[in-house]
Amino acid sequence: MLLREWRAGSKEALDQLMPLVYEQLRKIAARCLASERPGHTLRATALVNEAYLRLAGAEPEFNDRVHFFAVAAKLLRQILVDHARTQNRQKRGAGVHNLTLDESIVVASAQPGLVELDDALQRLAVNDRRKSEVVELIYFGGLTYDETAAALGISQATVHRELRMAKAWLYTELAS
């Protein structure tokens, strides 16, 4: 109901809607940030606030609750990746630090970060858009298999199969 009113142009509907979905968005944001490095400068509340500002300024085209959270998942991912890219740019230009051979081996064997995951998801999307969307909706959006199936118009079994194949592809891609 509130999504339809917002889509019809009611800013009051957005003001009523956000408190209802805020906690869910915060949980999704916290889950997204849980896999980040310790001392990450972006917090779940700041992430949700940024998403709120972008959603409030957007033209609402949401069909239902699942579609809203699917769009929010894409937005949260975009904000996280933009933040990671900014941090990486600042680090690169902040002064050169020479590494010993042992240090460079440790750095090279580090786990891939969010930027690398995003790049891999973009490559996956070129090859198979649906697999990329399944990963995004489940991991960045916090949607269940049922909600993901509804958002993409596929069966729950297909979601499970696509996710399994996408995870294998991403593992191979990020390991190389």
- The C-alpha atoms of residue 41 and residue 37 are separated, in whole angstroms, by 10
**pLDDT tens-digit series, residues 21-74:** 888 888 777 777 776 666 666 777 888 888 878 877 777 677 777 778 778 888
- The C-alpha atoms of residue 65 and residue 85 are separated, in whole angstroms, by 30
10 Å CB burial of residue 18 (0-12, 13-18, 19+) is middle
pLDDT greater at residue 110 or residue 27: 27
Q: What is the mean pLDDT of residues 122-129?
A: 94
Domain containing 145 equals: 2-93+107-175
pTM score of the predicted model: 0.61
Confirm whether 102 is domain-assigned.
no
Confirm whether 122 is domain-assigned.
yes
Confirm whether 132 is domain-assigned.
yes
- The C-alpha atoms of residue 93 and residue 176 are separated, in whole angstroms, by 26
Confirm whether 70 is domain-assigned.
yes
Q: What is the mean pLDDT of the chain?
A: 78
- Predicted confidence at residue 125, as pLDDT, reads 93
Residue 91 has pLDDT above 80, yes or no: no
Confirm whether 120 is domain-assigned.
yes
- Predicted confidence at residue 85, as pLDDT, reads 78
Confirm whether 47 is domain-assigned.
yes
Confirm whether 65 is domain-assigned.
yes
Block residue for tokens 């500002």: 53
Q: Which DSSP letter does residue 15 get?
A: H
Confirm whether 98 is domain-assigned.
no
Total tally of structural domains belonging to the chain: 1
